[in-house]
Amino acid sequence: MAIPAFSLADTEPPLPPGAPSGSATPAFSPLYQQIKGLILRSLQQGEWKPGEVIPSEFDLAARFRVSQGTVRKAIDELAAENLLIRRQGRGTFVATHAEQHVQYRFLRLEPDSGTTDSEGPAQRDIIDCRRLRASAEIARALALRTGDPVLQARRVLTFAGVPTICEDLWLPGGPFKGLTAERLADYHGPMYALFEAEFGVRMVRADEKIRAVLPDAAQAGLLGVTQATPLLSVERIAYTYNDAPMELRRGLYRTDTHYYRNHLS
C-alpha cells in the first residue's frame, strides 16, 4: 500500500517540551527535529507496533517531502533514545522491551561478581496485586485525579537464590484494565514487555530518585534482612510517549551482593 505524501505545512511543528498549548514560545525547531516529532506521533498512535519495521528512509523522505539526510538524522536520535533499532541489511525497527539487550533497560543493579548474563534472570514472586483509589500523592505522580482507580502490586525479585529487590508499583487503572496477579505471575518475560504486548503501553523513559533507607518489618521479612539493614530506595516514574506517566515504582535494593551502576555521558 502506498504511503501518502505528507507536508510539514499540513501540521504545526511540535511545541518545545513543557510548552503549554497556545504558548507564545517560538515554534521554530530544526527540520530534523520536526520530522522526529512526526515519527514519534506515528509511534504514539500505533501506526508501527513494537518489533515492527518502519518504512525506509527513502519512503519517509517522500512522505514528509524532505531529504533522506534529514530523515536519517531524526532516526539517529530516536535510535540513540532506544525508541528505534537499526539492523544492518534489514531496516529500522520499533524498539521493544522483549529485545534481549533492552529487557532490563531501567534496572541498574549488577552483581558484585560475574555479570547479569552469568547471574541469569531473576525469579519473580508476586506478593500482592489489587485495585484501589489513588491517594493524592499517587495521583500527582501519575497525572490522575485523587480517587481515580489504580492498580497496586508488590513483588520480590530473587537473584541466584537471594531475595534482592522488593518493589511496590502503581499503574493507572484505565490503560491496565484486566491486569491481575495471575497474569503478572504467568508472564515469564520482563514486566514492561507484558505491558507492551498485552496493553499497548510502551515505557520509553524514566526518572529516578535514589536514597538510603531502612526497611519496615514487612519489607525486611521479604528480603530476609533485619530492620537495621541499610537498603537502597529507588523511586521511579516511567513514561510512555508524549511524556505521559504510566507507572510509579518504589523499590528497595539489597546492596550486600549487588551494586547500582549508571553510565554517565
The enclosing domain of 226 has a CATH number of: 3.40.1410.10
Residue 229 lies in a domain: yes
SS3 of residue 187 by DSSP: coil
Residue 66 lies in a domain: yes
Residue 29 lies in a domain: yes
Residue 2 lies in a domain: no
Number of domains observed in the structure of the chain: 2
Q: Name the stretches of the chain with pLDDT < 50.
A: 1-5, 7, 9-26, 100-103
pLDDT at 160: 86
pLDDT at 60: 94
Domain membership of residue 59 as a residue range: 8-94
Same domain assignment for residues 80 and 152 = no
Residue 233 lies in a domain: yes
Whole-model pTM: value is: 0.72
Same domain assignment for residues 125 and 249 = yes
Same domain assignment for residues 110 and 88 = no
Residue 14 lies in a domain: yes
Task: List b or e across 3-12, with b for residues whose CB sees 16 or more CB atoms inside 10 angstroms.
Answer: eeebeeeeee
Element (H, E) at 97: none
Residue 99 lies in a domain: no
